[in-house]
Structure 1
């Protein structure tokens, strides 16, 4: 797997398809890995797109260059990594498709780099105007137990003691039973053995509501741009699983006023990992979006 050196990372990625074709970045979510896109990539490449799939920071073969670098897991850091990757590959313009964490980064890329992002697609996560986190209703807070756990020192210790077991609980509960098998989880979980995976995970969640959690100031420009922008001017496709038990589809309803161009599709019977659970539907819908906006 090739590696691109950025200011913070040795960033591993897969690059498939013609070098001169319209480029698409596929950004995976948490807890997942680049291999989660494997069933979608061939359709995009076959349709004439160049597909670039990075290991997000702290995942798989992407490693921090310095032990002194803060293991910032916020969306702003993921946005900067994606832009560094695009710069390093000479991609002046590109489309972006993201799942979960990758979806949040895709929205924010569309906000901070509208002249570079042709279009965006977001799986399983609603847009957050200005990037603001708010405490959800009690009903919606219930499936977020894993987040509240990480706000406690004892919870942090538990996650550090068994990060793969922690990830397994999310796979076991976020989608209808039977969507994954042990072999695939084991193969994916190798990406969670990255020495920075737990630190990046903890930082990503603890910074949401714990004001004392550190953030890398190198990404403050991204944070400021997101905080100053409410409306997305880039065409966006939202794909949400109708059976998502982590972020139910109600969370992405009624957000049309925040987009210049927006299409939302709910996939019946699909949980939190649409690209894994219904790759054919996801590839078809994403390709429709890319053919219209991504060339």
Structure 2
């Protein structure tokens, strides 16, 4: 069942699984994806007593803006504010925050700037504080981000989003069992009327080709300073990730002043929750153990 909650700017759709009285795990999907990326993870967590909460990001699935005049921004500051507002609106506390890709980037920002309701973070397939000079391998990998700077690229995001996303899924990871079926079940979430504009803005803003929403200027300026993350943090990366390579999470120890661990999963690509659900569950259990009782 899809539930909904209102935040200052959104009506966020989400799923809830497991006992409501259990330790809370908020699982945040990436791009292009939706909460079904956690389908191989949630049953085990729920069986072990965790209350799993799975929101749809802005521009995905049934999540909608409350006001047509609000800019359709995809910047990290917006995703972070959405996530912090979501946790607050549901009055969650002692949250184990688990994010993949865009969800990881939002998770880092919330852990750094809005940690009050968060117990610890598992971040998957994306690094924190990635503003350093870009190796050419990553510049090659990020062609789809540069693509948004062209009219033809923007047209692909708007008019050919399924085939664009299918190509990204196939090029970022080795094949995994059920990939095509999972893709077909997930793709309707990108029919959200704001998906293309949010996606385009996310990458134009990342590379300073478009201004951000002024509502998030304070968050963006604070994130630019790469504030240290004090919460217990476990970073998980696929060895064969051909989007954000494992180098993007390597050598970041000094940015985490609490308990910190990094795992690189042999044989896994970018879509770690889908490709390695058992390792994903194990990472969440490890964080739950080291971060203390919820």
TM-score, shorter chain, exceeding 0.5: yes
- Among residues 256, 264, 267, which one is paired with 1:259 in the alignment? 256
Matched ranges for 1:269-284 at <5 A: 269-284=267-282
Instruction: Output the CA distance in 1 between the equivalents of 2:241 and 2:121.
Output: 21
Partner of 1:172: 170
Q: Aligned pair 1:237/2:234, yes or no?
A: yes
Tell me if structure 2 keeps the 8 A contact 1:55–1:62. Answer: yes
Partner of 1:18: 19
Partner of 2:51: 50
* Structure 1 residues 232 and 204, CA gap change in structure 2 (3 angstroms): same
Instruction: Output the CA distance in 1 between the equivalents of 2:145 and 2:169.
Output: 15
Partner of 2:36: 35
Q: Aligned pair 1:91/2:92, yes or no?
A: yes
Partner of 2:82: 81
- Where does the alignment leave 5 or more consecutive residues of structure 2 unmatched? none
1:265-290 CA-to-partner distances (Å, cap 9, x unmatched) read 11000000111001011101221111
> How far apart are residue 178 of structure 1 and its match?
4.2
| SS in structure 2 of the partner of residue 115 of structure 1 | helix
Tell me if structure 2 keeps the 8 A contact 1:133–1:208. Answer: no
CA RMSD for the aligned pairs? 1.6
Partner of 1:142: 140
- Among residues 284, 287, 291, which one is paired with 1:286 in the alignment? 284
Instruction: Output the CA distance in 1 between the equivalents of 2:239 and 2:158.
Output: 32
Instruction: Output the CA distance in 2 between the equivalents of 1:276 and 1:170.
Output: 15
Instruction: Output the CA distance in 2 between the equivalents of 1:229 and 1:209.
Output: 17
Partner of 1:69: 70
Count of aligned residue pairs for this structure pair: 291
Instruction: Output the CA distance in 2 between the equivalents of 1:67 and 1:155.
Output: 24
Partner of 1:227: 224
Partner of 2:179: 181
| SS in structure 1 of the partner of residue 181 of structure 2 | helix
Instruction: Output the CA distance in 1 between the equivalents of 2:66 and 2:175.
Output: 39
* Structure 1 residues 270 and 293, CA gap change in structure 2 (3 angstroms): same
* Structure 1 residues 185 and 86, CA gap change in structure 2 (3 angstroms): same
| SS in structure 2 of the partner of residue 10 of structure 1 | strand
Partner of 2:103: 102
Tell me if structure 2 keeps the 8 A contact 1:135–1:141. Answer: no
Instruction: Output the CA distance in 1 between the equivalents of 2:162 and 2:147.
Output: 15
TM-score (norm 2): 0.94
Instruction: Output the CA distance in 1 between the equivalents of 2:12 and 2:4.
Output: 5
Partner of 2:245: 248
1:66-90 CA-to-partner distances (Å, cap 9, x unmatched) read 2211111111111111122111211
* Structure 1 residues 204 and 15, CA gap change in structure 2 (3 angstroms): same
Instruction: Output the CA distance in 2 between the equivalents of 1:7 and 1:185.
Output: 31
Instruction: Output the CA distance in 1 between the equivalents of 2:213 and 2:92.
Output: 25
Partner of 1:192: 190
Partner of 2:212: 215
| SS in structure 1 of the partner of residue 142 of structure 2 | helix
Tell me if structure 2 keeps the 8 A contact 1:60–1:192. Answer: yes
1:183-206 CA-to-partner distances (Å, cap 9, x unmatched) read 221110010111100011011111
